[in-house]
Amino acid sequence: MGSLNELKGFLFEGASEPATIIIYSPKVTPRLSYVCKFIFNQGLLCNYILTENESEFLQSKLVKINYSVKTFENALNVNPDGLLNSKELKKPELEYTNDSFDTFSSVFYHISRCEEWLLARTDAHGRFVPEIVFNAPLVDIWIAELKLMLSAKFQALKFPERKFKFISTIDVDNVYAYQAKPFYRQIGGALKDLARMDFVGVGERYSAIFGEHKDPFDAYDLQVDTSEKYNVPVIYFFLYRNNTKYDRTIDPNHPAFLKLLRFLKYRNITFGLHPSYDSSVNSKLLEEEHKLLSKNSGTEIIASRQHFLRFNIKTTPKQLIKAGIKFDFTMGWSEKTGFRAATTLPFYYYDFETESELPLLAVPFAAMDGAFYDHQKISATHALGQLTDIAAMVRSVNGLFITVIHDRSFSDTIAPGWKDLYVKLHETLKN
């Protein structure tokens, strides 16, 4: 729970004397209420009042934003494009460079994941395929621009400053490369190594099984020590299903798995569930995995990230809520770096079927390890440079920088240099 509490700095708790802004709209809709909560509470860390009463608005002494086709002299005027006053799903009509840019509609379009509700294009794993991958946190930039416009027009207005935050997350797909695996899997793996003439792999396997050297995936002490040394929270997401094509972890009830959970719990590490490949289409599996991890870890599991990032915007959030999940860390890309919802800030999912906010907080990540060594085919040195550049961009908007690293990335055979990269990144970005 400790690392999840770190997210509170990116949610509105109220400053000591927070500013209050009054916003006028002829019609206050669920969509407008949802996006105002995000922009003002989470984006600007201030209070706001939404009103349909024009007289109340004009007579107020508060900082004013007019969200209507009218123009008022003592207010910041934003011309709505219609998306928030509609029940349609559509992309905002205004271009991002238009002088009358509707910040509210554009932010809503991205954080509501309207794009995913609209487009049905998926890949071989049933994952949403975007038209555009955003390499900059546009939503955060637009909110910063709104802040500047408000500060320029109302010079007495002061906003609290949020600080950049780095949180490391680790997806545990295997726990160990060789240890605690059934005998038939050891034999099968060894035969595959021999068929590829991978004699290094054979030797590595033998050494790990017979205890001559540590398992190549066993870097948990390094990870926890690094987290503590540089004051960077770490969250582990455990896959809790095995023996399927895409779920290859060790038996969740194996003593080695239970021992690892005890070690991490002793070090006050936060646990999350990595729901299995088929759980995205089988809610019963999700509930079983959640129940077993909660039991075996002796902790309340309220965070998750989908295995393979298999996520359906229309169904997955509701399944996670039903299972007891409150934080979802799936919002990101596996093959590319970037900002899936165009923001670094946590946001609550929106349900277009009921036109309401869901009690599930999406926590977006900016970069996954496999995007570098599986897809870009670049070295750890170059990956570190890209990661620090992305972090600098997130820092420029005082955002939340989250990375996704897998257990396999600590194997020098699979991902040369990534163990050192992990430590260097923490040293560079320490909180």
Higher pLDDT, residue 13 or 342 = 342
Q: Is 235 helix (H, G, I), strand (E, B) or coil?
A: strand
Q: Is 234 helix (H, G, I), strand (E, B) or coil?
A: strand
Which pLDDT tens digit goes with each residue over 31-59? 999 999 999 999 999 999 999 999 999 99
Read off the tokens for 215.
């398992």
pLDDT surpasses 70 at 204: no
The pTM of this model reads 0.92
Residues with Cβ within 8 Å of residue 364, at least 6 apart in sequence = 331, 332, 339, 340, 341, 343, 344, 345, 346, 347, 400, 402
Grade residue 178 by pLDDT with cuts at 50, 70 and 90.
confident
Which domains can be identified in the chain, with CATH numbers?
A: 19-153 (no CATH), 165-177+215-429 (3.20.20.370)
pLDDT surpasses 90 at 200: no
Average pLDDT, the chain: 90
Q: Is 101 helix (H, G, I), strand (E, B) or coil?
A: coil
Q: With the CA atoms of 341, 346, 352 and 355 taken in that order, what torsion angle do they form, in degrees rounded to the nearest 10?
A: -140
Q: Which of 236, 187, 192 is nearest to 209 (CA)?
A: 187
Grade residue 199 by pLDDT with cuts at 50, 70 and 90.
very low
pLDDT surpasses 70 at 240: yes
Grade residue 203 by pLDDT with cuts at 50, 70 and 90.
low
Distance CA 337, CA 3 (A): 23
pLDDT, position 13: 57
pLDDT, position 209: 58
pLDDT, position 57: 98
Number of other residues whose CB lies within 10 A of the CB of residue 421: 21
pLDDT surpasses 60 at 122: yes
pLDDT surpasses 60 at 30: yes
